[in-house]
Amino acid sequence: MGTDVVLSAAQLHDFERQFLAFIQREMKQDLAHDMNHVSRVVRTAKSLCRKEQAIAEVVVPAAYLHDCFSYGKEHPERRESSSIAAGEAVYFLEEISYPVQYLNAIHHAIVAHSFSANVQAQTLEAQIVQDADRLDALGAIGIARCVQVSSSLGRALYEAADPFCGAREPDDDIYTIDHFYRKLYRLSEQMNTPSGREEATRRTQYMRDFLQQLQGEIDGEFVVPSGEHK
């Protein structure tokens, strides 16, 4: 394929099969980054792409391939993961003759998706992939992923004397709940797109409600459903 190629929906769908086969083969899965994570990011990115009227030929492959390479969470070079993934993704796309005019934008979107890389997303398509990936750290899925990863690292759920960081700085190297205050609650403010911010706000509120429920259970308080007597 030459330059200025616009893919039909059917052509992009055919490429998706190859994206999926590649990521299944190359991705080193862990508790936070598995094929379910990729599938969710792809679905969210497609939804944001439609809402924000972005270029699907960039968003879709970048969403599929964004984690084709990743160092472990505790690896000292973790922030380089997205750059390596971007290079491997573009090499693969060249091999399957994906339209070349999209490759630079895909490369940038994959590099910029990573929180640890701290690269500003310069295009709408990169902003969408970044938002989609960060939305997967919020809401019900975000809570589950946070607990999974923290448990695998041997971190306690909360600090007994001050579980919700009322009078201390959060330390998510030790306590799971502290990660909400250290990072997760801040993500909604960092969303790039209007659609991403709206969804992030909704998911963040769900997480705040979860911690409110958790606080009641820690304190030994019982919630009486409406219509019932104590």
pLDDT tens string 173-222: 999 999 999 999 999 999 999 999 999 999 999 999 999 999 999 999 87
Domain count of the fold of the chain: 2
Mean pLDDT of 111-134: 90
Whether residue 91 has pLDDT greater than 80 = yes
Compute the half-sphere exposure of residue 184: CA atoms within 13 Å on the CB side of its CA. 29
Query: Helix, strand, or coil here: 156?
Result: strand
Is 230 within a domain? no
Is 95 within a domain? yes
- The C-alpha R_g of the chain, in whole angstroms, comes to 20
Domain shared by 43 and 95, yes or no: yes
Are 211 and 164 spatial neighbours (Cβ–Cβ below 8 Å)? yes
Nearest CA-CA partner of 58 in 135, 131, 126: 126
Residue at a domain's end among 125, 149, 174: 125
pLDDT in tens, 12-58: 999 999 999 999 998 887 767 789 999 999 999 999 999 999 999 99
What is the share, in percent, of the chain residues with pLDDT greater than 70? 90
**Mean pLDDT score of the chain, rounded to an integer?**
90
Domain shared by 148 and 207, yes or no: yes
Sequence-ordered list of residues with C-beta below 8 angstroms from that of 106, at least 6 positions apart, any chain: 58, 61, 62, 65, 86, 89, 90, 93
> Which range of residues forms the domain containing residue 178?
139-218
Mean pLDDT of 141-165: 95
Query: Residue 177 belongs to a domain with what CATH number?
Result: 1.10.3210.50
Is 1 within a domain? no
Domain shared by 104 and 77, yes or no: yes
Is 2 within a domain? no
Residue at a domain's end among 66, 97, 125: 125
Domain shared by 114 and 161, yes or no: no
Q: How confident is the model at residue 3 (pLDDT cuts 50, 70, 90)?
A: low
pLDDT of residue 31: 66
Whether residue 145 has pLDDT greater than 70 = yes
Residue 114 token pair: 């990573």
Domain shared by 51 and 120, yes or no: yes
Whether residue 164 has pLDDT greater than 90 = yes
pLDDT of residue 72: 62
pLDDT of residue 2: 46
Is 226 within a domain? no
Nearest CA-CA partner of 25 in 90, 92, 80, 72: 92
Whether residue 165 has pLDDT greater than 80 = yes
Is 149 within a domain? yes
Query: Residue 104 belongs to a domain with what CATH number?
Result: 1.10.472.50
Domain shared by 44 and 91, yes or no: yes
Domain shared by 17 and 104, yes or no: yes
